[in-house]
Structure 1
């Protein structure tokens, strides 16, 4: 797997610095280089209802830094993602939806100026690129008032040979398969909570109640449904074959906001018996 470790840190730091400079110095507004915000309600979840079709007209995605008296926008893309038009369109759609929701909040201000500028910070990073798969992460936040921003967390798995997105629904097509994934993931998350609580200075009764509360939230967020596992990224061996799938859970799905984004790696041995035959060849055997 080609992980953009140092490069990701540099790009994310640069984006944060640029947004900070905009707030401090009131830089002039840069031309908007992405599609216009959508009208009406928008969603920031990737569309996983159907495979993505080939895009005839390639998009040219470019980083964005923009500011107004009411809001700041910062978006960064991998420099060569335009090589995959269908994937580029999916990233553009996600960013456009996120901007649309920010714009709705700005429009609600009327002529008022917020105490703290509203903000959209979104970074797309390439996690993996092989002839079989290209994996992109989207991480960021959208602030429209309140104590903290709304987390933005998404993963995109593009299959260049098929020119389509690999989704949770197509990867594992039945509830039985998701039941096996659910059991494995929930056990891992509960074990983490139990380990953490055992090191806290709590009365036994308080510890048990905290574990029960955490277990309920984990059960709600890991039910045997593809919807609960829609964000994932394959982990591969040197031959590009999947040895595990890392399922990604945004804050609030399986724990409180303070726990942040959580992940669980499910080994291929658990997944392969339930993977759709069309994708079994992507996985390592044995």
Structure 2
């Protein structure tokens, strides 16, 4: 990742041109209550344009931003909280992501509409929505997570997650994994508690033991191939790590997404780059 400005384009934006499904829209973005130990802080408001409008309705509230547009071609929504909007560099990055996501949606929706007309089949409005929330705010860091939803025709849409850290001292955005010596080191430190927690949730959702004959959804998955977010219970240091798992990664689509929280341990501390260890503590 480049130091300085970081282009925050979520995986869902790239998936917009590839997704071919639609279903019920997913739950709000994961909060720290569910994924890293404390309540998320959210400041948002929305404004909806008329059905015939193709211009975005935009509302800025106390530094945060919320936008929602609905028309025959597409549905678009995007929001981030006051805490993010109050930081000029972070606000600029999130605004850039908003513009990129909307432009990608409009372009693909126009192509889809033209294709539907050419082949004489119904066109259903494409959609993209992303909601950023605060995971935790520490003296040196602001931790955020987002949940996004994309639909570009078909049976159901897809959910994706993203996470970022704003480094208050360096005034730059970072990925949580960038604070560790390597993804491999972080994966090794997290794998045992992550797999145990994931299987526990699988059993709960499936109502019985995991079917080991189902090779696709019975094995553990690499925790760092999921979205990593950092949380805190003491508001001074990171002592919790959240792993956000989208549909299909750990189970069939019907099971939805998974949110797994694991504590910061000695193994996690050992995997950190030396300059970031003071920002973490072993969970009590």
Same-fold status (TM-score > 0.5) = yes
Q: How does 1:263-282 map to 2 (within 5 A)?
A: 263-269=259-265, 270-282=267-279
Q: What is the aligned length?
A: 237
Q: Which has the higher contact order (CA 8 A, sep 6+)?
A: 2
CA contact (8 A) 1:242 1:284 kept: yes
Which residue does the alignment assign to 1:105? Answer: 108
Matches within 5 A, 1:233-248: 233-248=229-244
Counterpart among 34, 39, 49 of residue 3 in structure 1: 39
Q: Is the 8 A contact 2:237 2:280 kept in 1?
A: yes
Matches within 5 A, 1:181-200: 181-197=190-206, 199-200=207-208
The answer for the alignment partner of 1:123 in structure 2 is 131
Cα distance in 1 for residues equivalent to 2:105 and 2:55: 18
Distance in 1 (CA, whole Å) between partners of 2:88 and 2:247 is 30
TM-score normalised per structure 2? 0.69
More helix by share: 1
Q: Distance in 1 between matches of 2:96 and 2:159?
A: 17
CA RMSD in angstroms, aligned pairs only: 3.2
Shift of 1:183: 3.4
- State the match for 1:26 in structure 2: 51
CA contact (8 A) 1:65 1:75 kept: yes
Q: Structure 1 stretches of 5 or more lacking a match?
A: 35-59
Partner of 1:209: 213
Q: 1:252 deviation in Å?
A: 2.1
Aligned pair partner of 1:155 in 155, 163, 168:
163
Instruction: Encode CA deviations 1:225-278: one digit per residue, 9 max, x unaligned.
Output: x5x14x222221334211111121222222222222212222111411211111
Partner of 1:176: 185
After TM superposition, what 4+ stretches of structure 1 lie above 6 angstroms from structure 2?
none
TM-score, scaled relative to structure 1: 0.69
State whether structure 2 residue 112 is matched by structure 1 residue 76.
no
Shift of 1:27: 5.5
Q: Within the alignment, does 1:67 sit opposite 2:70 as a pair?
A: yes
Q: Distance in 2 between matches of 1:83 and 1:93?
A: 16
**Inter-CA distance 118–268: structure 2 relative to 1 (3 Å threshold):** same
Q: 1:190 to 1:237 in 2, by over 3 A?
A: closer
Runs of 5+ consecutive residues of structure 2 not aligned to the other structure: 1-31, 33-37
Paired residues of 1:84 and 1:160 also in contact (CA < 8 A):
no
- Alpha carbons of 1:76 and 1:27: their partners in 2 closer, same or farther (altered >3 Å)? farther
Deviations 1:81-109 (A, max 9, x none): 23222322332343334324322321312
